[in-house]
Amino acid sequence: MDIEEISQVLYKEKNQTLKTIPADFYLEAEKYVRKLEEDIKKVDNSRSPEFKMLHDEHERALSDLETIFMKRIGKVITRATIQSNANKPISKDIEKLLPVEKKLYDLVLQEIKAAKTELLGPILYPGSENTAVWPEIVERQIPAGFKGKTDAKMGIPGIAARGETGLVPDKNNINEEYVVVRILKDLPTFTGADGRNYTVSAEEVVVLPQLNATGLIKRNAAKLIVGQEDSGKDSFPGEN
C-alpha cells in the first residue's frame, strides 16, 4: 500500500455511495504507516527534504485514513437510520461493509429501534404498565428455555416463524418481559419492544414482548395464553 492507494479510496468515499474496500485495507494501512515511521527514524537530519517529505506523507496518510473511516461510519449510521423505519431490507450495499462495520450497523439499527420503541411505545400503546427495554437488557432476560434457538428461523428465541408450528415453551420459563399469545389475524411485519422484527400469522402461538402483546390484545389481534399467572394477576397489563 502507498499514499496513492489511500487517496483513491478517499476519493471514492466522497460521495454517498458505499464502496467496497479490501478486507485487509486497515491492516495494510497499518503496515504502511509503521513503515513510514521507521523510515522517518532513519533520517538523521530532521530539516532535510527527505525528512519533510516522509513526515508530510505520514501526516497525510493518517488524515486520509481518519477521513475514510468517518465517511464510511457516516454511511453506516445513515443506512441504519433509514432501515429502522422499514420492514424489509432496503439497501443492497450493506454487503460492502467490512465485518466490523457490519457489526456497528447491526448495533446502531438495534439501538435506534429500541429507542423508537421506548419513546413512542407509551404513545402507540397507552395504558400499558410496561416500558420498552433496551436490547442488551432483553438478551440477558431471555428465558433459559428459549436459548439456543436461531434468530434466522424464529426472529427471537421462542417465537414461531411464518409457516412453522407455533412454539409453546413451559410457562415457568417465560420471563416477565415476554408473554405467549395466540395470533387471531394475519399481521404485517412489525418491530417489537426488543428491537426485533416479527412476522406472525393467524392461529400461530408466539412469544412476544409484553408491550407489543398488550397492543395486539387491545386490538383483538391476539389472545393471551401465558402471561402473569405467577404474579396472581387475572388480567393482562393495561386491561381493566
Same domain flag for 21 and 74: yes
Residue 45 has pLDDT above 50, yes or no: yes
Residue 239 included in any domain: no
Q: Cα dist. 112→18, 122, 196 in Å? A: 21, 16, 11
Q: Which residue has the higher pLDDT, 227 or 45?
A: 45
Asked whether residue 147 is assigned to any structural domain, the reply reads yes
What pLDDT score does 92 carry? 76
Indicate whether 12 and 72 sit together in one domain: yes
pLDDT band with cut points at 50, 70 and 90 for residue 230: very low
Compute φ and ψ for 178, nearest 5 degrees: -125, 150
Specify whether 7 is located in the same domain as 92. yes
Q: Are residues 50 and 133 in the same domain?
A: no
For residue 207, CA distances in Å to 46, 68, 223 come to 68, 43, 12
Q: Which residue has the higher pLDDT, 230 or 26?
A: 26
- Structural domain contains residue 195: yes
Answer whether residue 122 is part of any domain: no
Which of 79, 97, 115 terminates a domain? The answer is 97
Tally of domains in the chain: 2
* Model pLDDT, residue 96: 93
**Strands 178-183 and 205-209, how do they pair?**
antiparallel
- Same domain as 226, residue 145: yes
Structural domain of 193: 129-231
Do 92 and 157 share a structural domain?
no
User: Looking at 59-68, 152-161, 171-180, 190-199, which range is the least confident one?
Assistant: 152-161
pLDDT score, position 128: 57
| Lowest mean per-residue pLDDT among 87-91, 107-111, 126-130, 169-173 | 169-173
Out of 85-99, 119-133, 149-163, 205-219, least confident range:
149-163
Q: What rounded mean pLDDT belongs to the chain?
A: 75
Q: 212 and 135, same structural domain?
A: yes
Q: Choose one of 97, 112, 138: the last residue of a domain.
A: 97
Residue 19 and residue 86 share a domain: yes
Q: Are residues 163 and 214 in the same domain?
A: yes
Is 93 in the same domain as 136? no
Cα-based torsion angle of the residue sequence 174, 179, 181, 185 in order, rounded to the nearest 10 degrees: -140
Instruction: Give the lowest-confidence range in 37-46, 93-102, 172-181.
Output: 172-181
Q: In this model, does residue 72 exceed pLDDT 80?
A: yes
Instruction: Mention every residue, 6+ apart, whose C-beta is less than 8 A from residue 232.
Output: none
pLDDT band at 134 (very low <50, low <70, confident <90, very high): very low
Domain contains 236: no
Question: Closest Cα to residue 195, out of 209, 182, 174, 178?
Answer: 209
pLDDT the model gives residue 171: 38
- E runs forming strands in the chain: 178-183, 190-191, 197-198, 205-209, 222-226
Domain limit, last residue, from 73, 97, 121? 97
Q: Is residue 222 part of a domain?
A: yes
151 and 92 share one domain: no
Q: Which of 213, 209, 206, 202 is nearest to 175 (CA)?
A: 209
- Does residue 126 or residue 86 have the better pLDDT? 86
Q: What is the CATH number of the domain that holds 196?
A: 3.40.5.50
Could you tell me if residue 76 is inside a domain?
A: yes
What CATH number is associated with residue 72?
A: 1.20.58
- Per-residue confidence band for 40, with pLDDT thresholds at 50, 70 and 90: very high
134 and 216 co-located in one domain: yes
3-state secondary structure of 46: coil
Please report which confidence band the pLDDT of residue 138 belongs to, taking 50, 70 and 90 as the band edges. very low
Q: Is residue 14 part of a domain?
A: yes
Best mean pLDDT range from 115-129, 133-147, 171-185, 194-208? 194-208
Q: Give the span between the Cα atoms of 30 and 24, in whole angstroms.
A: 10
Indicate if the pLDDT at residue 156 is higher than 80.
Answer: no
pTM of the model: 0.54
